[in-house]
Structure 1
């Protein structure tokens, strides 16, 4: 992974005026080479500074979400896998709120596209999905662009405290009502007896 990031730095430095475009494209293509979005956001802060790095990261992450929106509909196996993963992690009838997705994006080991999938299930239309995907990407880009260098210097205890605080925030921002359709509720009751 260090080689890929070194390649990114060289490409950006040689790119000149095309460097922001190359960075945004790298953000979009990073999923193919399995680089977490946080690392690319940190690199954006180093290369372009806080303001431009955050802006370019938001654009790259939003294009990534747009790409996911169109591709997931053409991949039914992946759609089913993400649906099963969502049910396993969050429960069958639990829908994540936009606030929860925003906070969960800050936790490094939460699957980025699983959160995109949760947004897609909640907001079916392209306009709503893209709006909320952009909103949830802003704290991710901002946090990791600014604080990325400092996070690596945190002690393990501090990291556990931060993760615990984020988990509490996810719980507080949860959806307070669960709606189960009549047929689904009685289908489960019928299967149990």
Structure 2
């Protein structure tokens, strides 16, 4: 992973005027290189400063969101895996709110595409999905660009305190009710009785 990050830094520094374009495109490549979103966003803050780093990261993350929306339905095996992970982590009938997704994106070990899938389930139409993606990508870009250099100085107890705070926010922003269709509920009940 360090080699990939070094490649990004060299590519951007040598790119001159095309450096922002290279950085934005690197956001798309990040998924295939298994580099966490937070690492790339922090690098954007180091390379371009707070304002431009945040702007370029939001543009890059929006590109990733468009890519995900366009291709997830064409990859059924990947979609099945994401559904299994979603059901295991959040429950089969639980739909995350846009606010919850925005908070969960701030937690580095929660998978970015899992949250994009939850967002697509919540907002299935493209225009709604893109608006919600923008709202959930701004906090991660802003937070990791500005606070990226300070995160390394945090003590483990302070990091745990931050994660507990984010967990409380996710709980407070949850849906207060859950609607399960009759067909789905009774189908599940019959399967349990038969099994």
TM-score normalised over the length of structure 1: 0.98
Structure 2 counterpart of 1:24:
24
Q: Give CA deviations for 1:72-95 in whole Å, capped at 9, x if unaligned.
A: 111000111111111110001100
Question: In structure 2, how many angstroms separate the alpha carbons of the residues matched to 1:190 and 1:125?
Answer: 32
Structure 2 counterpart of 1:73:
73
Question: In structure 1, how many angstroms separate the alpha carbons of the residues matched to 2:14 and 2:45?
Answer: 17
Structure 2 counterpart of 1:57:
57
Structure 1 residue 13, shift from structure 2 partner: 1.0
Structure 1 residue 59, shift from structure 2 partner: 0.2
Question: In structure 2, how many angstroms separate the alpha carbons of the residues matched to 1:85 and 1:157?
Answer: 28
Structure 1 counterpart of 2:48:
48
Q: Tell me the SS of whatever aligns to 1:30.
A: helix
List structure 1 segments (4+ residues) > 6 angstroms apart after TM superposition.
Answer: none
CA RMSD of aligned residues (A): 0.8
Structure 2 counterpart of 1:100:
100
Question: In structure 1, how many angstroms separate the alpha carbons of the residues matched to 2:104 and 2:5?
Answer: 25
Structure 2 counterpart of 1:128:
128
Indicate whether 1:192 and 2:192 are aligned: yes
Structure 2 counterpart of 1:163:
163
Gapped runs of 5+ residues in structure 1? none
TM-score normalised over the length of structure 2: 0.97
Question: In structure 2, how many angstroms separate the alpha carbons of the residues matched to 1:98 and 1:11?
Answer: 34
Q: How many residues align?
A: 193
Indicate whether 1:145 and 2:145 are aligned: yes
Q: Tell me the SS of whatever aligns to 1:32.
A: helix
Gapped runs of 5+ residues in structure 2? none
Structure 1 residue 4, shift from structure 2 partner: 1.3
Question: In structure 2, how many angstroms separate the alpha carbons of the residues matched to 1:49 and 1:189?
Answer: 55
Structure 1 counterpart of 2:12:
12
